[in-house]
Homo-oligomer: A and B are copies of this chain.
């Protein structure tokens, strides 16, 4: 049976939930305490500051996306398989870790310069991983050879990052259908296949 008392991880998870839903500035420490059945001040038994919570949630999000990109880079042979893994992996992160993903994607602007820059760098690395797959496909002949991988990766990420904004698991698409819809759309835009 799980303990009645809360752990630091519980606090971070609840923070992710509220930051994702209402935003960092829209969430007070008292709100967050209420979410856990605590007083706001009691959170300081687990955490040094509100900002630390944001940092931790965002770092979790960043790590999840990066791990997914790393896995995609090693997924099977050829750009087609890697692209599939990249898209499916991204959607898994968004659906299985919605709070961390949304906070990572939407609340980074609150961070101080140093940390915000770190997030931007992480996003660049993530985009670069996708670009690499696109370039591989272009030189293989899997995708159009004149494809602009820099712009195209931005467009594909635009579609992927927006999933959080409209998709509901209660809707007409299950996860596999969502993945194949996104993949189908992007795949056609990449060309070269029939």
Give the interface of A toward B (CB within 8 A). Answer: 22-23, 25-26, 106, 109-110, 148, 151-152, 154-155, 157-159, 161-162, 165-166, 181-182, 185-186, 188-191
Contact = CB atoms under 8 A, between A and B. Distances in A.
Nearest to A123: B166
Given A161-B162, A189-B189, 9 more contacts: A23-B109, A151-B181, A151-B185, A152-B185, A155-B185, A157-B162, A158-B165, A162-B162, A188-B188
A81 to B, nearest CB: 20
For the complex formed by this chain, how many copies does it contain in all?
A: 2
Contacts of A158: 158-159, 161-162, 165
A32 to B, nearest CB: 15
A15 to B, nearest CB: 16
Contact of A109 (B22, B181, B182, B188): B22
A159 B110 CA distance: 24
A146 to B, nearest CB: 11
A182 B166 contact: no
B166 A159 contact: no
A148 B110 contact: no
Contact of A188 (B148, B166, B189): B189
Given A155-B159, A191-B188, A23 B22 contact: no
Contacts of A26: 25, 110
